Structure formats: C-alpha cells, structure tokens
Amino acid sequence: MNIVVLDGYTLNPGDLSWNTLRSLGPCTIHDRTQPAETIARAADAEIVLTNKTILSHDVIERLPKLRYVGVLATGYNVVDLAAARAKNILVTNVPDYATASVVQMVFAHLMNLTLRVADHGRGVAAGRWTRSPDFAYWDFPLVELSGQTLGVVGFGRIGRRVAEVARALDMNVIACTRRPPVEPPSDIAFVELDELFRRSDVVSLHCPLTPETQRMVDRRRLTFMKPTAYLINTGRGPLVDEAALAEALNAGHLAGAGLDVLSTEPPEAGNPLLTAKNCCITPHIGWATLAARRRLMTVVVDNVRAFLAGTPQNVVN
C-alpha cells in the first residue's frame, strides 16, 4: 500500500529516521503540506499520516483510495471522523508518548514564574550582578512552592503525573475532572471547577478540548483566582479566553501565566498575550523532546504495521 506523510517535519526535523516506516511499503514524506496541496499529494495513497494537516469531509470524499489515517499526535480533531467512518477508513492516534516531557514543561514554566529564572539570567548577562554591591540580588519576589496549592484541571495520565510531582515538592493538590477515579489518591481532594480556581495558588490545565471546555478559563473564572496565583497551560490553547487572560495579567489581577499552547499556532501578531505582563510563552514544545518523538515514531509505525496485519490498534473511530 502507498504511504504518504503530509507533514512530517515537526516529528522528524532530521534527527530521527523514517526507514522503519519506509520498510512497510512505498512511502512519500513531505515536510509540510498546504491545504491546496493535500488532495493531490494524497490522491494515490491508501495510507495517509498527518499531524496538523486537516483531512476534512470534503478532502476525504475526494480520496477514493484512502483506507487508513494515522495521526502523528494524541489529538485527532484534524480528521473528520464521521466522514472517515462513513467510508470505512480507519483512524488511529498515539495516545501516550509525551507524558514525562509535558510534565517537565509544566514545572519548567512554574519554576520560571516563581523564581524568575529567565529574567535573572538575562540580568546577570547584562552585568546586573557584576555591578551589585551585595553577593546576591533579586529583582522580583521569589516564591517557594512548598505548602502552596496546585489545582489540576483534568486527571488523565498527564494530570495525574503533574499531581504526583507537585506532592513530591510538598505542594497541596486539588483536582477537578469529569470522572473522578474510583479509588482516588488519599492526598488529593477532588472539587468543583469554580472552587478549584478560588483555592489554587497554581492552576494547571490538562483536560481535553471539547465544546464544554472551550474558553473554560474565561473572565469570570479569572476573577476567582488570587492575585498571587499562576496559570499554566500545556493542554490546548482554546481552553483559555486569551483576551481575558491578557487583561487580568496587565491589571495585576494574576501574578503570571506560563503557556506552551495558544488558540492559533503560530500565533497572530496581534495576540494580546504576546505583550501581556508576566506571561511566558513557549512555542508548543512540551511534546517535542527527542525521547518523546522517538516514542511517537515507534508507535506511529507500530500502528501502521498493525493495520497492515489486520489487527489495528489505537483506533479512534
């Protein structure tokens, strides 16, 4: 079967190998695919792999040879599942490959916000320490995490692991999730969402993006948060009302935000968060460590191999 990768660059910018995938059949790999190019590039493919290139109803209808879509990620909203199902096209994803890396990013943002690591590093490089009359200096309040309360929104693999790391840092943890565990951890309290925003010193988002969760962090909930609190989002950008968050930060109603995702990626130049006070934004790299991408590549190939063997795995439709 012909295999076409529509946008393989972010998974493999050159430090991994496609050879194992190539061993499964004729394979064409594109670094990136523009919307107008999708149909032509996938026209002769029975197997299409995509990360962010959208396979809409109209696109799927115009690909009569297509039998399998492999999403190079956990989220699969880039594929019209109903259209694929109607044409008996199997869709798979990679459900768990970057948990450790995303958790690391959560605490990278939190450590940066509470200790202002990047700001102090830039100050030292600019000569601020060299000119200091004292052996140490700090230009911002330094916050200890021990005893602070972390609110985890969503308690899947990543949310659960974030909670475990927070407890290791001697933080108190509360959580809100659609389906609390049957046997919840004894050291974590499960609360309603509004209560979580009111009580937390740090709120970390790990829930899926659904019609119910879109812009769940809105102007109303931001008013619930303490002015000393921080918001961390490594989940999905549209969980946050970005204009409302920028207003809260600029008005000093929130101490800071650490974001690895935005509602539009790359962001538009006018996104208010790009210039908001105490807002650190990273370019959606929490998933992108070499170790995580190696795992992703392995499961992507295993998914295709399982489909070819007639024993599909990680099917989402």
Per-residue 3-state assignment (H helix, E strand, C coil) for 190-254: ECCHHHHHHHCCEEEECCCCCCCCCCCECHHHHHHCCCCCEEEECCCHHHECHHHHHHHHHCCCC
Q: Would residue 125 count as lying in a domain?
A: yes
Contact 149, 195 (CB under 8 A): no
Q: Is 265 a catalytic residue?
A: yes
Shared domain for 138 and 269, answered yes or no, is: yes
CA gyration radius, the chain: 22
Shared domain for 108 and 248, answered yes or no, is: yes
Of 32, 37, 219, 265, which one is the catalytic site residue? 265
* Cα dihedral 56, 58, 61, 65 sign: negative
Contact 303, 314 (CB under 8 A): yes
Q: What pLDDT is recorded for position 25?
A: 96
Shared domain for 113 and 194, answered yes or no, is: yes
Q: Would residue 246 count as lying in a domain?
A: yes
Shared domain for 62 and 48, answered yes or no, is: yes
| CA–CA separation, 103 and 234 (whole Å) | 9
Shared domain for 299 and 169, answered yes or no, is: no
Residues 173-186 have pLDDT tens digits of 999 999 888 888 99
Q: Would residue 43 count as lying in a domain?
A: yes
Q: Is 128 a catalytic residue?
A: no
Shared domain for 133 and 253, answered yes or no, is: yes
What's CA 220's distance to the chain center, in Å?
24
Of 22, 198, 215, 284, which one is the catalytic site residue? 284
Shared domain for 71 and 194, answered yes or no, is: no
Regions of the chain where pLDDT drops below 70:
none
Q: Would residue 314 count as lying in a domain?
A: no
Q: Would residue 315 count as lying in a domain?
A: no
Q: What is the CATH number of the domain that holds 277?
A: 3.40.50.720
Shared domain for 104 and 92, answered yes or no, is: no
Q: Would residue 316 count as lying in a domain?
A: no
Q: Would residue 105 count as lying in a domain?
A: yes
| CA–CA separation, 60 and 83 (whole Å) | 7
| CA–CA separation, 209 and 215 (whole Å) | 9
Number of domains in the chain: 2
Q: What pLDDT is recorded for position 2?
A: 97
Q: What pLDDT is recorded for position 184?
A: 83
Shared domain for 78 and 136, answered yes or no, is: no
Q: What pLDDT is recorded for position 182?
A: 82
Of 236, 242, 293, 295, which one is the catalytic site residue? 236
Q: Is 284 a catalytic residue?
A: yes
* DSSP assignment letter at 97: S
| CA–CA separation, 262 and 239 (whole Å) | 9
Shared domain for 20 and 113, answered yes or no, is: no
Residue 27: give the domain boundaries: 3-97+290-308
Shared domain for 257 and 153, answered yes or no, is: yes
DSSP percent split of the chain into helix, strand, coil, nearest 5: 35, 15, 50
| CA–CA separation, 243 and 223 (whole Å) | 14
Shared domain for 108 and 184, answered yes or no, is: yes
Residue 160: helix, strand or coil by DSSP? helix
Instruction: Indicate the length of the chain as a whole number.
Output: 317
Sequence-separated (6 or more) residues with CB below 8 Å from residue 7: 30, 31, 32, 33, 50, 51, 52, 53, 72
Query: Which tokens go with 11?
Result: 């998974």
Q: Would residue 317 count as lying in a domain?
A: no
Specify the pTM.
0.92
